Structure 1
Amino acid sequence: MPAIVYHRVGARVAYQRRLASLTQAELASAAAIALGTLRKIERDERGASDAVLDAIADALGIDPSELLPGTGRPDDRVHQAMPALSEVIATYDMPDDGPVRPLRQLRDAVDEAVRWRLAAQYVRITRHVPALLAELSRALHTAPPADRAAVAALLVSAYRAADAVAYKYGARDLSARLIDLMRWTAPHAEDPLLDAAVAYVRTETFFAARAHEAGLRALEQAADAALRRNDTATLAARGALHMRAAVIAGRAGQAATAETHLDEARALGDRVPEATYGGTAFGPDSVRIHEVSLAVSLGDAHAGRALSLAREWQPPVDLPAERRSGFYIELARAQLWAGQADHAFESLKVARRIAPQHTREHRWVREDTATLRRLKRADAESLNNFAAWCRAGE
């Protein structure tokens, strides 16, 4: 994939470096780039390629989008990767020849992609996952019988990371294709919990098509088919299905059914610690976030429930960034419905600080920001800048 070179990033790099209390030499060393290169970037005497920008961001421990100039668009990097991703999935059953790393190294690479997905690091996913998918496809076709199930499970997780990007950036057909490939690959893993995870992700296609009742039926079937063991992973898998069923039932306008599923999720969540199970965060905190999601799904008459929960509780910082930012995006909508425009804008800004790429690409963020601009309840300059950043009104 051709590199994108960003110019006029110097001031942002220097600002973030000072925030981290690093000298230029220390940052250059941590990012594994030449000191002279960093100095030229900070003086805007040269641009920074996406690879260099990623290296600097990694060294600073921040999202790469925080280093982009005001005119820089992280979605340029994502959309540029879509053809490569499409090519990889088109050849899933006849991958090109190439190297395949040992299973342990493949597992490490997939674990990293999962971390990027949970942290809403979509640019990083697009830079690395297409090649990883190709390698995993080769591995699945060449793996000895003893390793085939493990490779299939890794491939499903990698497809899920790629789908997160496709879905968030509006490539609905590509997302649906990736989910189909997850469903095709999962049986090779011989893991019922993975089947539950795929059913959880498949709900995206029903959300996108507004086929909420069909999506609810699919989730209920998956929950009924889930294992009835009482180990933590199985309880979490079942709980996640009920948690998502509650939200889609709310979108379908089935309030009583939604409450039943939320109660099931809450009971299961109380039996497991909050953690990421099979790539999905689940536990008491995730259930609370979905309670807000349900209130928003049921409409503005239920906004008070979301506001009441938010007054008593905030998502802890150790939850995945995508999930935490989603909480504040949904809270902002409830606050807007309740006439609390200033609070809604503050919630959107919190969501941006937590996961800028997720927030920027969220349809509700653009819609609610456009509404806030019409209301003119917040600081005009700050709100206008935010609206330009998230492309409100587009």
Structure 2
Amino acid sequence: MPALTDRGVGRRIAYYRSVVRPKVTQRQLADAACVALGTIRKIERGERGVTDATLEAIADALGVDPVRLRTDRTAAHTRVHDALPALSAAIATYDLPDDGPARPLCDLRAAVAEAARWRVAAQYTRIVRALPELLTELARAYHAAPAEDRAEIAGLLVRAYRSADAVAYKFGARDLSARLIDLMRWAAPEAGDPVLTATVAYVRTETFFAAQAHQAGLRALEQALDAAPSASAAPAIAVRGALHMRAAVIAGRANDDSAATEHLGEARTLADRVPEDVYWGTAFGPDSVRAHEVSVAVSLGDEHVARALDVASEWKPPRELPAERRSGFYIELARAQLWAGLADDAFESLKVARHIAPQHTREHPWVREDAARLRRLKRADSDTLTNFAEWCAAT
């Protein structure tokens, strides 16, 4: 993509760097955006251009929409939507990929791992830019691989499909998401890894959330728990715990207080046996369970909302948790605060979520709903609230 050279881009970057809370230095911005410090300095001085990819990384680090930094005023989220057809085309030919080269297995492992890091960091623009070509390459490698390599490549396909699904699901492409989950379910048995199969069951729950088929989703998760490997080694403990966490949330959406409490208790017990970590892209451990206590309380609603506020008064998600999970905590906390009549606190939580993971926050339907409600309820700080509502397209 061509580089933007307007000095106004650098001035706007410097401005937003000075007004975000907490303020960030040029070095902090460079580290957060994975851009060289010298590059940040030259961009702000107007001495060099900035590519779309670099601008979006800087905007993500600042917690602002790239539209506020660029001169062409093209919204960043439209870039993701515009790239979804390429993702759809890549998976349409999963069994008949185009001829072409495939990198060595070690390089494919690294590319899939990088996509997983982008997913847990809610870097969706990067995913949608890289995944169509990677998925095609993985399919090509799978069909051409010798028998001894096929299982591993099938596992890489599952993990890559999952990263692609994060974009499809978060950006509302539910049919594409369902197709990606079907492909995960096709490839997982080929990988011959029970832990990986269990993680696919975790992701499949998205389809039940989307359809509001909460009881059916709970049954599917309980069947997955029955089939999951016993909780002996750390990955198996983590995946069982993650299934229990998700079962607790969907039980809450189904208004099944007893099942939600039981599954959350099982998750808590398993979390005591492993450190907080990420297994196959799913964070699990004591901190993840604490975050899910808020999720479950908000799902159950009514008198349970006070529990969400109690958890938040005692604990905040540490920076070590993936950005997507941390921002999700504050999005759900904001809803609990709004229900409790704490409008100012709710808006602060939404701003924290935006700072942690802008793309995840902007595309979350609850954020739009709650920002619109806050806009109707509040009059103080109206300019800031209006800007936030416009940023996330609240109506």
> Quick check: TM above 0.5?
yes
Distance (Å, rounded) in 1 between the aligned partners of 2:50 and 2:262: 52
Which of residues 99, 102, 117 in structure 1 aligns to 2:101?
Answer: 99
Deviation at 1:336, TM superposition (A): 0.4
Provide the residue aligned with 1:12 in structure 2.
12
Equivalent residue letter for 2:292: H
Distance (Å, rounded) in 2 between the aligned partners of 1:4 and 1:334: 44
Deviation at 1:229, TM superposition (A): 4.1
Distance (Å, rounded) in 1 between the aligned partners of 2:374 and 2:74: 24
The 8 Å contact of residues 63 and 358 in structure 2, kept in 1 or not, is answered as no
Distance (Å, rounded) in 2 between the aligned partners of 1:293 and 1:326: 9
| 3-state SS of 1:9 partner | helix
Equivalent residue letter for 1:280: T
Distance (Å, rounded) in 2 between the aligned partners of 1:20 and 1:309: 32
Q: 1:61 to 1:371 in 2, by over 3 A?
A: closer
**CA distances 1:206-257 after superposition (whole Å, capped 9, x unpaired):** 0000010110000000001111141111111111001100000110111111
The 8 Å contact of residues 345 and 378 in structure 1, kept in 2 or not, is answered as no
Distance (Å, rounded) in 2 between the aligned partners of 1:28 and 1:224: 42
Distance (Å, rounded) in 2 between the aligned partners of 1:260 and 1:359: 30
**What is the percent sequence identity of the aligned residues?**
64
Where do residues 179-198 of structure 1 align in structure 2 (5 Å cutoff)? 179-198=181-200
Which of residues 226, 229, 236 in structure 2 aligns to 1:227?
Answer: 229
Distance (Å, rounded) in 2 between the aligned partners of 1:28 and 1:244: 32
Deviation at 1:48, TM superposition (A): 4.4
Provide the residue aligned with 2:386 in structure 1.
384
Q: TM-score if structure 1 supplies the norm length?
A: 0.90
Deviation at 1:46, TM superposition (A): 9.3
**CA distances 1:240-277 after superposition (whole Å, capped 9, x unpaired):** 00110000011011111111111111111111111001
1:263 aligns with 2:265: yes
| 3-state SS of 1:241 partner | helix
The 8 Å contact of residues 269 and 284 in structure 1, kept in 2 or not, is answered as yes
Distance (Å, rounded) in 2 between the aligned partners of 1:258 and 1:63: 37
The 8 Å contact of residues 9 and 42 in structure 1, kept in 2 or not, is answered as no
1:124 aligns with 2:90: no
Provide the residue aligned with 2:275 in structure 1.
273
Aligned Cα RMSD in Å?
2.7
Provide the residue aligned with 1:324 in structure 2.
326
Where do residues 45-56 of structure 1 align in structure 2 (5 Å cutoff)? 48-53=50-55
Deviation at 1:63, TM superposition (A): 6.6
Q: How many residues align?
A: 381
Q: TM-score if structure 2 supplies the norm length?
A: 0.90
The 4+ residue runs of structure 1 with deviation greater than 6 A are 4-7, 31-35
The 8 Å contact of residues 162 and 180 in structure 2, kept in 1 or not, is answered as yes
Q: 1:217 to 1:31 in 2, by over 3 A?
A: same
Q: 1:325 to 1:5 in 2, by over 3 A?
A: same
Provide the residue aligned with 2:30 in structure 1.
none
**CA distances 1:129-184 after superposition (whole Å, capped 9, x unpaired):** 11111111111111111111111111111100000000000000000000000000
Deviation at 1:50, TM superposition (A): 2.1
Q: 1:344 to 1:201 in 2, by over 3 A?
A: same
Q: 1:369 to 1:64 in 2, by over 3 A?
A: closer
Provide the residue aligned with 2:255 in structure 1.
253
**CA distances 1:345-382 after superposition (whole Å, capped 9, x unpaired):** 00000000000100000000010011111111541111
Deviation at 1:11, TM superposition (A): 2.3
**CA distances 1:33-71 after superposition (whole Å, capped 9, x unpaired):** 899xx55x864x9974424535x74xx993796654264
Distance (Å, rounded) in 2 between the aligned partners of 1:142 and 1:34: 44
| 3-state SS of 1:62 partner | helix
**CA distances 1:4-54 after superposition (whole Å, capped 9, x unpaired):** 8767533233457884446xxxx999389899xx55x864x9974424535
More displaced, 331-340 or 145-154? 145-154
| 3-state SS of 2:68 partner | coil
The 8 Å contact of residues 63 and 357 in structure 2, kept in 1 or not, is answered as no
Equivalent residue letter for 1:62: A
